[in-house]
Structure 1
Amino acid sequence: MTRKGGRPYKSDSQTKSQHIIETASRLFARQGYAATSVEQVVAACGVGKDTVYRRFPSKLALFEGVVEHARLRTQAHFQTTMAAQTGDVMEQLRAVARWLLTVNLDPTLIAFKRIAFSEALVIGQSVANKTDDPIMDRLLGLLREAQKTGELARGDILFLAAHLLNCIAIGPTIEAMLGRTTYASTRAQNAYFEKAWTLFLNGARPR
């Protein structure tokens, strides 16, 4: 739908932008950054070249849009997941930790991490400069609360968060980035998580 004079309605413009982003996401995830061109995205979208370039003037700008879309979608998924949690602070912290393992093994996000790692000189820090991180804010808030209630030992909260992330997500993420399928199944993730969560608690509980 368009207005008089041929200008599209805002909703139509947003729909096109969403379509371009989703198409580009699939191509970047499947082919990588270097092998994906804006022309390929144009062809796959079935829209005019000018339609894409008006929104994303370069391939880097398009990739930044893809990463931002993934970031916002991940945050929305986190908010939905945590809204369903009604337990005490440790139950909520455990839910966050399990969610972190799942999301860090998402195949599309793994593909984007590979791009960020392999194309660091090309994309620089442009896709990593977001200062707002409601997921980390929630994690830090729960860790502080657990310290206040005596469930976790007092200490540097950022170090404690890093300890949790290293116990829960870093190893499996590296495995996935290397193309291994060790933790591809939910059963494998659950088995790993139980051991990793125990390891975190053993290092973080008051002595």
Structure 2
Amino acid sequence: MKDDPAPKFRRRAEDRPDELLDAAVALFIEQGYARTSVAQIAARAGLSKGAVYLYFPSKQAILEGLVARAITPVGAELMAQVAAEARDIRQMLTVFLTSLAQRLSDPATLAIPKIVIREAVVAPEIAQMYHDAVLAQALPIMIQLIQRGIDNGQFRDVDPEMTVRTVMGPVLVHIFLAEIFGIQPAGGLALDRLIDNHLTILFDGLCTPRKVPHE
């Protein structure tokens, strides 16, 4: 007996949002968010422009869909690790940053923050959307983690908000240098090497211990 075509059609319809998102991220990377039209996304996905609006009411909604698909689940998982009652805060930061590097090694995941970095200046609504969907959720939990380390004596009495910026800053600048200025270390982006180096400096300090002169 031949398969019933109805389930096949339903599966095809359910696949369309992902097909549109795949087409969109490819075009955003190739020619930029601002220069990509909904019609181009539809054509790349093999659909009519009208069909796009059945799933996404605007181009920004498509970008929001990309964030929801690629970044939000990753952020939720990592934040759950951070938010859990911790024993060793240093270990938790290590696990968090190492996991982040592993996640961003997936080109489909890394593509989204790259698009945001490239386009936020000319399209401020992108920066606002990413702030609301990702940063506004992640930063308070990270600040809470640093404060927990201060309260239990693992960290010095530092400014938690400034410390989070210090911890996350090198990762963002690393991506920024590569994507905006084309400056990459030998061997490519190598986020795992960056974070390993960053953790060494963060926890052990950049300067070698001073030798105490003998009396």
User: Unaligned 5+ residue runs, structure 1?
Assistant: none
Q: Give RMSD over aligned pairs.
A: 3.7
Q: Percent identity?
A: 21
For residues 108-127 of structure 1, what are the structure 2 equivalents within 5 Å? Answer: 108-121=111-124, 123=126, 125-127=128-130
**Aligned residue number for residue 182 of structure 1:** 185
Against the structure 1 CA distance between its residues 125 and 94, is the aligned structure 2 distance closer, same or farther, given a 3 Å change threshold? same
Aligned to 2:66: 66
8 A contact 2:42–2:52 mirrored in 1: yes
Residue 157 of structure 2 is aligned to residue 171 of structure 1: no
The offset of 1:77, in angstroms, is 5.7
When structure 1 is superposed on structure 2, of 140-149 and 35-44 the one drifting more is 140-149
Distance in 1, Cα, partners of 2:87 & 2:12 = 42
- The TM-score, its normalising length taken from structure 1, stands at 0.70
CA 1:193–1:49: 2 relative to 1, 3 Å: closer
Give the whole-Å Cα distance in 1 for the aligned partners of 2:65 and 2:192: 33
Alignment partner of 1:192 is 2:205 = no
- Partner of 1:43: helix, strand, or coil? helix
Cα contact 1:23–1:41 (8 A) shared by 2: yes
Q: Equivalents in 2 of 1:110, 1:36: separation in Å?
A: 17
Name the stretch that deviates more: 18-27 or 118-127.
118-127
Aligned pairs for 1:56-205 (under 5 A) are: 56-75=56-75, 78=78, 88-101=88-101, 107-121=110-124, 123=126, 125-130=128-133, 133-166=136-169, 168-177=170-179, 178-182=181-185, 185=188, 188-201=190-203
Q: For the residues of structure 2 that align with 1:183 and 1:149, how far apart are their CA atoms?
A: 40
The answer to whether 1:36 aligns with 2:36 is yes
Change (3 A) 1:51 1:129: same
Check 1:132–1:36 CA distance in 2 against 1; reply closer, same or farther (3 A cut). closer
Tell me how far 1:53 sits from its aligned partner: 1.5
Kindly name which structure, 1 or 2, has the bigger radius of gyration based on alpha carbons: 2
Q: Is the 8 A contact 1:172 1:183 kept in 2?
A: no
**One-letter amino acid of the counterpart of residue 203, structure 2:** L
Looking at structure 2, the residues matched to 191 and 115 of structure 1 have their Cα atoms a distance apart, in angstroms, of 23
Equivalent-residue separation in structure 1 for 2:43 and 2:152 (angstroms): 57
The normalised TM-score by structure 2 is 0.68
Distance 2:45 2:88 in 1: 46
Unaligned runs of 5+ in 2: 206-215
Deviation (angstroms), 1:153: 0.9
| Aligned residue identity for 2:176 | I
1:171-197 Cα deviation digits (max 9, x unpaired): 3122122223227647x5444334322
